[in-house]
Structure 1
Amino acid sequence: MTVPTPTSVPPVPSAAGARVLCAMSGGVDSSVTASLLKEQGYSVVGAMMRFWPDDKSTETFDSCCSPAAAYEARRVAEQVGVPFYLLDYREQFQQHIVEPFIDEYARGRTPNPCVNCNTKVKFDELVKKAKMLGCQYVATGHYVKRVENERGEVEFWRGDDPRKDQTYFLWGTPRETLPYILFPVGELEKPQVREIAAERGLLTAQKPESQNICFVPGKVQDFVAEHLPQVQGLIREIRTGEVVGEHLGTQFYTLGQKKGLGLYQSHRVRHVVHLDPQSQTVWVGDYEDCLWDGLSTSQANYLIDLAELPRRLEVQVRYRTAPMGATVLQADEHGFRLQFDEPQFAVAPGQSAVLYDGPRLLGGGLIDDHTPLLPALSGAE
């Protein structure tokens, strides 16, 4: 009988005995993170951030942030042999994540709450909490690589598993917190992580991944409908201004959408090109009308000195799309403007434009508007 070779694990910064606050979600990635840190000599404190409110059923929150997940995280902490705490962040989560999520839809934008959660809660509030607890580091199960450059500065690089890389969600991390963050699974691929969990008998080894927005039970449109009133409006053709349909609120649409428009004339495919909540108008057009050659952002955050931002770089405008080449036209501490190498389809305001130099994460910003290839509203009245 052949004895399998234990899965090798990458090293993390040498700090034997250093105290680490490990964010545990009840999933396999954070479970393995806690286990690896403990084995490597760290003094590990497990913690889960409580987001779910008392006034809603516990099923409201998805498996990654639910009471059931907290129970599993606590059991894993017992398996690993580390203390575990449930930290109350309900107020911060409502203020920084849920309310802005609804507000963005009211403005005709398409938000990404996971970016806000990582920026304003996990890597801001959690680092503060770690310091209060006497911890030198915060560790998470993100598939991100922590790299120290020749100047001793900490950089975030894409994880080694291209299917799981999560740097897209971390562009807003406060730069001053980078030295305090560890990513023990960043140099592993998902199958390796599950193998490590199985070898150590962790109860989350085969737990399925969460795929949804944690606080949205079911469809996003249904959640938005609970919080924003229906307001009847018109659907207009972007080139002619012709009324081609009606709707019950711009909040139910996103740029590029082609299904569920309910148009009077359905003989050709139309896409949502522009949303105007003020006039409650949904503008639609052809695929070509939804192409943009650049973007601008606000609320930018840079993980490098602004003077070092390269003029040529790569930008990613959705989590599941490949990065594309772009030229920086302007950049300051508030935001930046880019021109794409090739026109891009349905760049949605409210989403994130994330900047890279190869695998290195440089920063990002929230997309505010776009530069269309075709005139959008001129002559449309």
Structure 2
Amino acid sequence: MALDNTPPLNSLGFAKPPAETRVVVAMSGGVDSSVVAAMLADEGYDVVGVTLQLYDHGAALAKKGACCAGVDIHDARRVAEEMGFPHYVLDYENIFQDAVIDEFADSYLAGATPVPCIRCNERVKFKDLLETAKDLDADCMATGHYIQRKMGANGPELHSAADSNRDQSYFLFSTTEEQLEYLRFPLGHLPSKDETRKLASKYGLVVADKPDSQDICFVPNGNYASVIEKLRPEAADPGQIVDLEGNVLGEHKGVIHYTIGQRRGLGIGGLADPLYVVKLDADKKQVVVGPKTALATRTIPVREINWLHDAPMTSREEWHLSVRVRSTRPPREAILRPISETEATVELLSPEEGVSPGQACVFYDTESTRIFGGGWIWRGY
């Protein structure tokens, strides 16, 4: 009987000792990515920390507590020094401006509700940074995202995090099969964020008690309108607030100040029933309002689909799965009907309110934690 001399796989899935396995860790300066770097360094891996400076942390767009700027770069560097691995800061300001911030502003001007964190993962972290990791001869790149990479019969699969309250699958649906081969998510199996902070304390990290960043990193205090107005001054052009029949109910100070489903702050009091924003018509500079029932929809057109099922999306006329149309909402049962390899129509089995173009529609297996990809909602309702 022949002996199998193949070395066992290490915790990152490579058949060699950790010391011979180089891993680039994307470090935002927060507790999650810092724990990943410290944990892998403690296990003996050849860790290289990389932090991206995504915007000028001295400019008005920056805010205290945001990732990838100022104090966070300093915190990432301190963690690397404490754990004894090299750390580099890469200037990605121009890439981030072109690939994320400009599209964010233009999408809002077009009446959509964009999700720049997804584009940042897709176009910056998992594209340019991933290529940089390969240039550094790394075997893989690890991040602090709460999502799981599991090996299936046909290769690595994307799965929701063990902690549903921390799951970031909505923001990572566009991760491709090729990227998934190279990426690792060491925190995805943890039962809670408390476990991450315990690990941070175990390793004596300076960021152990650092609060989580909130909102979009380059948007101060969640005030989208102020950022967009700075980038696109014409965005504050006033216009009309109209009902579904086109009757003028009032004036607004720019469509950027409104989102689909908004009820408060419309400035059109005195009506018998509450009204909600049901559509933003950027071309006509109109905010369209209507009753809550007008927000409900069952049919969602989706494009730019990243498909992660083993079988091609077009191999079936329809797929029964669950979908999430907002990061804060639970998945809903739906039927996906392919139009092409990158476009489909999603039919919700029960209506969903406030579905907005510019948001993502993420696909989930109904019988497991596996993510089948997702796409972008692209037409108003």
Give the TM-score, by structure 1 length.
0.90
SS of residue paired to 1:172: coil
CA shift, 1:210, in A, is: 0.3
- Distance in 1, matches of 2:73 and 2:339, equals 42
Q: Is the 8 A contact 2:301 2:346 kept in 1?
A: yes
The within-5 A match list for 1:234-273 is 234-238=240-244, 240-263=245-268, 265-273=270-278
The within-5 A match list for 1:30-41 is 30-41=33-44
- Distance in 1, matches of 2:248 and 2:109, equals 22
Determine if the alignment matches structure 1 residue 45 to structure 2 residue 48.
yes
Match of 2:375 among 345, 348, 365: 365
SS of residue paired to 1:338: strand
CA shift, 1:212, in A, is: 1.7
Gapped runs of 5+ residues in structure 1? Answer: 1-9, 373-381
CA shift, 1:246, in A, is: 0.9
Which residue does 2:228 correspond to in 1?
224
Q: Is the 8 A contact 2:66 2:218 kept in 1?
A: no
- Distance in 2, matches of 1:227 and 1:38, equals 41
Q: Give a deviation string over 1:98-140, Cα, whole Å, max 9, x none.
A: 0000000110000000000011111111111011111110100
Match of 1:208 among 197, 211, 224: 211
Which residue does 1:134 correspond to in 2?
137
Determine if the alignment matches structure 1 residue 349 to structure 2 residue 349.
no
SS of residue paired to 1:299: strand
SS of residue paired to 1:123: helix
% same residue: 37
Which residue does 1:6 correspond to in 2?
none
- Distance in 2, matches of 1:76 and 1:215, equals 23
Match of 2:198 among 180, 195, 200: 195
- Distance in 2, matches of 1:134 and 1:87, equals 17
Match of 2:89 among 86, 90, 101: 86
- Distance in 1, matches of 2:199 and 2:63, equals 31
- Distance in 2, matches of 1:284 and 1:58, equals 31
- Distance in 1, matches of 2:148 and 2:255, equals 39
Amino acid at match of 2:128: E
Q: Give a deviation string over 1:36-82, Cα, whole Å, max 9, x none.
A: 21233321100101112277258446432221100010000111111
Q: Is the 8 A contact 2:314 2:338 kept in 1?
A: no
Match of 1:288 among 287, 293, 316: 293
Match of 1:182 among 174, 181, 184: 184
SS of residue paired to 1:117: helix
Amino acid at match of 1:167: S
Q: Larger deviation: 222-231 or 55-64?
A: 55-64
Amino acid at match of 1:244: L
Give the CA RMSD over aligned residues: 1.9
Show structure 1 runs of 4+ deviating over 3 A.
57-62, 264-267, 307-310
- Distance in 2, matches of 1:127 and 1:288, equals 45
- Distance in 2, matches of 1:157 and 1:275, equals 34
Q: Is the 8 A contact 1:291 1:344 kept in 2?
A: yes
SS of residue paired to 1:124: helix
Q: Give a deviation string over 1:300-336, Cα, whole Å, max 9, x none.
A: 2122333567710010011111000000122422322
Which residue does 2:168 correspond to in 1?
166
Which residue does 1:120 correspond to in 2?
123
Q: Larger deviation: 178-187 or 306-315?
A: 306-315
Q: Give a deviation string over 1:86-105, Cα, whole Å, max 9, x none.
A: 01111110001100000001
Question: Residues 54 and 342 of structure 1: is their aligned pair in 2 closer, same or farther, counting only changes over 3 Å?
Answer: closer
Give the TM-score, by structure 2 length.
0.90
CA shift, 1:349, in A, is: 0.4
- Distance in 1, matches of 2:36 and 2:212, equals 16
- Distance in 2, matches of 1:178 and 1:43, equals 20
Which residue does 1:98 correspond to in 2?
101
Amino acid at match of 2:313: L
